[in-house]
Structure 1
């Protein structure tokens, strides 16, 4: 959907209609428009997801069936995610090369898991079916997030049209368009050797400073391009939602100035990292009392959330290693009483190191579906001034 011409046309028609109808009809209108938008792009996804939402809305409301329904809900969502996202790459002969993962699968799975967990905990009471459907299907954020939580969605909506929301929404959309289609797709791509990782790997073969610098150039610009592109999409989604008076969760907060890996994950894909902290990391802490194991499991899940491939698993392992190493370093500093390292200019020394670390992680995802894990290892090794052969 976003940013196809049909998306902008739908937005231009639905926003005035949304504010023109009485307040009690607005969520119903937005729910209907959003379901129609998803159905136009992927009819079976819309039909199946709507059936999920309606069925479990009623089953989870009844205290007598709530826990049993939640177990079925939880298992069903995970089986659906596995069937569509993880089995096809594992069994390519069964699914064929033209198999397509259902639209928005990862995002709506995590949203619905949040919904089921919070309903069972008794923290989501008093919402209507039309509000739930509008939240699940909200067309500006359906395909690329952020992963909005239902309680935030309901609490932050504005009951009346405000000029400030319209100006802020349009401004945010403009920022997103510039980030994605000017900075990411034109400027940064123009500065790269090549956007293709295999071509980049071939071009940096050989010893010397030049290939080493080119390896860092490719990974650094690839990471910045990903940041500009993804945050640009989120800006457009958040801005479009703001036109409906919906103040969606922010997803980025200047991750390029993060001072350490933990700080980075409080600034990058915030809605995903917050979801994983609430529903994976903290429960794992309670279960194991081991923050390092909890961090490892959390990042492996985050990798699998993106795609069922070894590349993304290694991406998760890479980020987990960075976070665990930082946690250990913090513990070591506290024991030694090295508080001065966190004061003055020294506290910013971690910014270039963090940028380098997260840029190197892109070596794994850049080759997802395009190259081998060994290609990723070779690119990382090149950044460390190590030349590895094309074949291990």
Structure 2
């Protein structure tokens, strides 16, 4: 049976049982049914992740700096082994020397563990129940596609009693996700992107394509990515709401952002917030250098997706844009420059912001399908050369 069909059957069967149980048993049931779903996807992976989760729950609340260092390092090493070691071997030319299948949801799982370890070290979660923790760490609606939920948010924003509003909002959010996926992405955008054989066709003729057609292709690629990821996020948030759980939001209309900084307050908010808390602030605390902290954060976001030249270039591009905007904002304050505000200003700043985002997206479009030379060819044509 297809994984998608199993997900919907699992959800339909789990929700009524969850609410039929006494309150004290619900977290345990949600943990068990979520673990069972992950085990259906890959039994050995589920067993390994469960062992890791139990270990972290037992050790993270014993507050010593050495233990915290070991726990964070262990999570990063596991992530590096599965996601980055194969890429390193391939870059060194050892094709076929290492075949490692990345477990589904590993990135989200590891970032959740790091969050729990750090916050427990700071004194939070001292009375954390094991069933609550396992329900949080394995929550099956969000296991493979996020968002990166925080444990304190998970505990605070859940309803212990069934509410019709949660059911209505959850089903509505799921419907929004399905419409985004099957109507906007697959019915409207996918056929447009498939013209001229998609990216591979574009690369063959990019030097002779009209500039506006090159831009159109990558704007549509960005919209497809946004709506596709937003669809899975909507489904995860909506499905979780059926259990009374209000997950953190991931998007807040990033396509209307008026600056690159505003964009990152709206795009992939859970990942951006995680990197701000566990990369940006620690780096700035150690170095007192905001620029270095910004680059470290975006490099972490890029590598979280994939250890490839494309995602590294994407991170460097966004970091440079954010740093550049910061210099410009400080210069405006220093020189007391007053910029016009209002709808007409947004008509200019919003397209300019999206142009930067779309150009950075050229790198990720080429991930595994192109080279830095191909990126240079595309950029050259986008700029009219």
Q: Into which bin does the TM-score normalised by the smaller protein fall? A: over 0.9
Asked if 1 retains the 8 angstrom alpha-carbon contact of 2:280 and 2:297, the reply is yes
Equivalent-residue separation in structure 1 for 2:247 and 2:316 (angstroms): 30
Asked if 1 retains the 8 angstrom alpha-carbon contact of 2:251 and 2:268, the reply is yes
Structure 1: runs of 5+ lacking an equivalent: 387-392
Equivalent-residue separation in structure 2 for 1:382 and 1:97 (angstroms): 37
1:344 Cα offset (Å): 6.0
1:2 Cα offset (Å): 10
Corresponding residue for 1:389?
Answer: none
Corresponding residue for 2:199?
Answer: 197
Q: What aligned pairs does 1:93-132 form with structure 2 within 5 A after superposition?
A: 93=94, 99-132=100-133
Equivalent-residue separation in structure 2 for 1:316 and 1:351 (angstroms): 21
Tell me, yes or no, if structure 1 residue 141 matches structure 2 residue 142: yes
When structure 1 is superposed on structure 2, of 338-347 and 260-269 the one drifting more is 338-347
SS at match of 1:188: helix
When structure 1 is superposed on structure 2, of 333-342 and 171-180 the one drifting more is 333-342
Equivalent-residue separation in structure 1 for 2:26 and 2:44 (angstroms): 25
Computed over aligned residues only, the root mean square deviation of the Cα atoms, in angstroms, reads 1.8
Equivalent-residue separation in structure 1 for 2:265 and 2:212 (angstroms): 29
Equivalent-residue separation in structure 2 for 1:288 and 1:134 (angstroms): 37
Tell me, yes or no, if structure 1 residue 60 matches structure 2 residue 60: yes
Asked if 2 retains the 8 angstrom alpha-carbon contact of 1:2 and 1:140, the reply is no
Distance 1:3 1:43, change over 3 A: closer
1:105 Cα offset (Å): 1.2
1:205 Cα offset (Å): 2.6
1:110 Cα offset (Å): 0.8
Corresponding residue for 1:270?
Answer: 269
SS at match of 1:29: helix
1:291 Cα offset (Å): 1.4
Equivalent-residue separation in structure 2 for 1:110 and 1:60 (angstroms): 14
Equivalent-residue separation in structure 2 for 1:375 and 1:143 (angstroms): 31
Asked if 1 retains the 8 angstrom alpha-carbon contact of 2:185 and 2:224, the reply is yes
Corresponding residue for 1:285?
Answer: 284
Equivalent-residue separation in structure 2 for 1:82 and 1:2 (angstroms): 29
Deviations 1:315-372 (A, max 9, x none): 0011111111111110111112112344563255210001111011111111111111
Equivalent-residue separation in structure 2 for 1:23 and 1:347 (angstroms): 49
Equivalent-residue separation in structure 1 for 2:310 and 2:143 (angstroms): 25
Equivalent-residue separation in structure 1 for 2:204 and 2:9 (angstroms): 43
1:211 Cα offset (Å): 1.9
Asked if 1 retains the 8 angstrom alpha-carbon contact of 2:61 and 2:121, the reply is no
Off by >6 Å, runs of 4+ in structure 1 = none
SS at match of 1:61: coil
TM-score (norm 2): 0.95
Asked if 2 retains the 8 angstrom alpha-carbon contact of 1:88 and 1:94, the reply is no
Asked if 2 retains the 8 angstrom alpha-carbon contact of 1:56 and 1:69, the reply is no
1:75 Cα offset (Å): 1.3
Structure 2: runs of 5+ lacking an equivalent: none
SS at match of 1:248: coil
Asked if 2 retains the 8 angstrom alpha-carbon contact of 1:59 and 1:69, the reply is yes
SS at match of 1:115: helix
Corresponding residue for 2:300?
Answer: 301
Aligned residues: 381
Corresponding residue for 1:82?
Answer: 80
Equivalent-residue separation in structure 2 for 1:186 and 1:162 (angstroms): 35
Equivalent-residue separation in structure 2 for 1:84 and 1:4 (angstroms): 24
Equivalent-residue separation in structure 1 for 2:241 and 2:164 (angstroms): 11
Asked if 2 retains the 8 angstrom alpha-carbon contact of 1:341 and 1:347, the reply is no
1:56 Cα offset (Å): 2.0
1:270 Cα offset (Å): 0.4
Equivalent-residue separation in structure 1 for 2:227 and 2:207 (angstroms): 28
Asked if 2 retains the 8 angstrom alpha-carbon contact of 1:147 and 1:272, the reply is yes
Corresponding residue for 1:390?
Answer: none
Corresponding residue for 1:185?
Answer: 186
1:53 Cα offset (Å): 1.1
Distance 1:113 1:298, change over 3 A: same
Aligned counterpart in structure 1 of residue 69 of structure 2, from 50, 68, 71: 71
Equivalent-residue separation in structure 2 for 1:51 and 1:385 (angstroms): 55
When structure 1 is superposed on structure 2, of 83-92 and 144-153 the one drifting more is 83-92
